[in-house]
Amino acid sequence: MPVLVFAHWMNLPLDEVERLERWGRQYNIATQTGDAVSTKEASDALYARARGLMEERKIRPLDTKVDAVSALLATRVDGEPLPEELIIGTIRQVLVIGVIAPMVMIGSICVHLGRDRELQDRLRRDPSLIPAAIAEFLRLYTPYRGFARTAVCDITVHGRTIPAGEPIALNYASANRDEDVFEDPGTFRLHRPNISASIAFGRGPHTCPGAGLAELELAVALEELLARTKGFQVDGDIFPTRMPEIGALHVPLKFT
């Protein structure tokens, strides 16, 4: 489903979905297992597709309001277009990033609901609660563990000085379970009053531009899963993801 949503958002032809899914899956499995050769192969295929897509949009641009690649091509900074390598790199990054986190989230939501029948039934009875549930699932099971930054100046945080130029790992998944911010942080609670403090989609200039799409996608996935089933439970071993994601990659479910 995330590949399909993504292909639609990128205005890719539907017959490409299968290929994109194959590369995305190969890339994901290869990075998860540390297979450098396979990672490079899938990455090269994604780069080639990104370059091809840019060339296609140069010849036949689409409406910049609904097409990300055409919008990147039309952007001017101080009157200059963006460098082509930057555009290709951006498309290539989005080809992976836009697909993996929603998949991992759907897995984590299935694990939680498969073990919490009461909540599962409550959401099935009242789908209007689903958006709030998604926000809390994103806090509790933040799929991207963290991202890297470099300190641009000396800064002291909680008595610890980080010197300028120092690389830093920002652990978003841990921050979303910070007991100084969220009461009883390991527990699922609908309608937390401070849920906007969640940093599942990051913060600042690099905040996830796909957040709205991702929230909608997850809400639709959960709505459909609940509407089409009477009940489900986890039935077998869950395979977790490795760095940089955190969550469930493979979840066997039994439908009742």
Least Å distance, CB 34 to ligand HEM, is 23
CB atoms within 10 A of CB 94: 19
Q: Tell me if residue 26 falls in helix, strand or coil.
A: helix
Q: Which of 66, 74, 97, 216 binds ligand HEM (CB under 6 A)?
A: 97
Task: Tell me which residue of 94, 134, 113, 132 sits closest to 215, measured CA to CA.
Answer: 134
Q: Which of 61, 127, 210, 231 binds ligand HEM (CB under 6 A)?
A: 210
Q: How many residues bind ligand HEM (CB under 6 A)?
A: 20
Q: Which residue has the tokens 């994103």?
A: 138
Residues 110-169 that bind ligand HEM (CB under 6 A): 143-144, 147
Q: Which residue has the tokens 């998949």?
A: 103
Q: Is 195 in the site for ligand HEM (CB under 6 A)?
A: no
Q: Is 107 in the site for ligand HEM (CB under 6 A)?
A: no
Q: Is 206 in the site for ligand HEM (CB under 6 A)?
A: yes
* List of residues 6+ apart from 31 with CB closer than 8 A: 39
Closest residue to ligand HEM, based on beta-carbon distance: 210
Do residues 101 and 221 touch, judged by C-beta distance below 8 A?
no
Pick between residue 211 and residue 254 the one whose CB is nearest to ligand HEM.
211
Q: Which of 213, 219, 238, 253 binds ligand HEM (CB under 6 A)?
A: 213
Q: Which residue has the tokens 């609904």?
A: 66
Q: Which residue has the tokens 């990672």?
A: 39
* List of residues 6+ apart from 24 with CB closer than 8 A: 3, 42, 46, 95, 96, 99, 100
Q: Is 105 in the site for ligand HEM (CB under 6 A)?
A: yes
Residues 165-184 that bind ligand HEM (CB under 6 A): 172
Q: Which residues contact ligand HEM (rule: CB under 6 A)?
A: 9, 94, 97-98, 101-102, 105, 143-144, 147, 172, 200-202, 206, 208-210, 213-214
